[in-house]
């Protein structure tokens, strides 16, 4: 797997149905900055397994990237699909959110302790 972008987002799936969803909805992004990763179907918390086990075992895929992220197979149902192919920002963190959301309101919903 050759990754040319400075951004890499791993899209987690756990079976053939969720894998097909990724290929049906994000095909044009795969190989650019989005990369499907199969998680064990017996793992209840995919993101936990990904961070604790998979990232360490596959460091060669992401260690030279500027931004590394993870989303679930159905992320387009929760947020907009960003254009990251040529992203070269200076931020330490890039948050995805729906375009119609006010970012402060959105943050307050998900992080109630956020000072406004």
Q: What are 41-87's pLDDT values in tens digits? A: 777 777 788 888 898 899 988 888 888 888 888 877 766 665 554 44
Confidence class for position 88, pLDDT limits 50, 70, 90: low
Contact 62, 68 (CB under 8 A): yes
pLDDT at residue 6 greater than cutoff 90: no
CA dihedral (64, 73, 106, 49) positive or negative? negative
CA distance 113 to 111: 6
Instruction: State the burial class of residue 84 (Cβ atoms within 10 Å of its Cβ: 0-12, 13-18, 19+).
Output: buried
β-strand partners of 102: none
Task: Name the pTM for this structure.
Answer: 0.67
CA distance 70 to 75: 10
Where are the domains positioned within the chain? 7-110
């Amino acid at each position: 797997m050759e990754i040319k972008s400075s951004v890499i987002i791993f899209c987690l799936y756990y079976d053939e149905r969720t894998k097909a969803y990724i290929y049906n909805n994000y095909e044009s992004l795969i190989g650019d900055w989005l990369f499907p990763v199969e998680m064990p179907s017996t793992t209840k918390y995919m993101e936990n397994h990904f961070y604790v086990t998979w990232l360490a075992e596959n460091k060669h895929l992401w260690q030279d990237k500027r931004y590394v992220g993870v989303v679930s197979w159905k992320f387009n149902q929760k947020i907009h699909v960003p254009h990251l192919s040529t992203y070269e920002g200076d931020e330490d963190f890039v948050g995805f959110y729906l375009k119609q959301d006010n970012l402060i309101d959105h943050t307050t919903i998900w992080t109630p302790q956020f000072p406004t």
